[in-house]
Amino acid sequence: MRNNIFGKRLKELRLEKELSQEKLGQELGFSNQTISCWETGSREPDLETLLQIAHYFDVALEELLEENI
């Protein structure tokens, strides 16, 4: 994902809900290290996980992947 748009959006959404990486990881079933890797862009989730994250935050998938929505 170019320019790590997903990672930036994930961090924004996480902070809006006042969640730590650890708490979000627990909520989604992933480690806090995985959440960190997604936010920094060193790893990317698969489509199923992207859909899970979008559902968790109640946003459209496009909102996670596109800038300026």
- Which DSSP string corresponds to 9-50? HHHHHHHHTT--HHHHHHHHT--HHHHHHHHHTSS---HHHH
In angstroms, the CA 53 to CA 41 distance is 16
Instruction: Give yes or no for a contact between 29 and 56, defined as CB atoms under 8 angstroms apart.
Output: no
> Distance (Å, rounded) from C-alpha 27 to C-alpha 30?
8
Q: pLDDT of 7-57, one tens digit each?
A: 999 999 999 999 999 999 999 999 999 999 999 999 999 999 999 999 999
Tell whether pTM > 0.85.
yes
Q: In this structure, which CATH number among 2.40.40.20, 3.40.50.1980, 3.10.180.10, 1.10.260.40 belongs to the domain 2-58?
A: 1.10.260.40
Domain ranges of the chain: 2-58
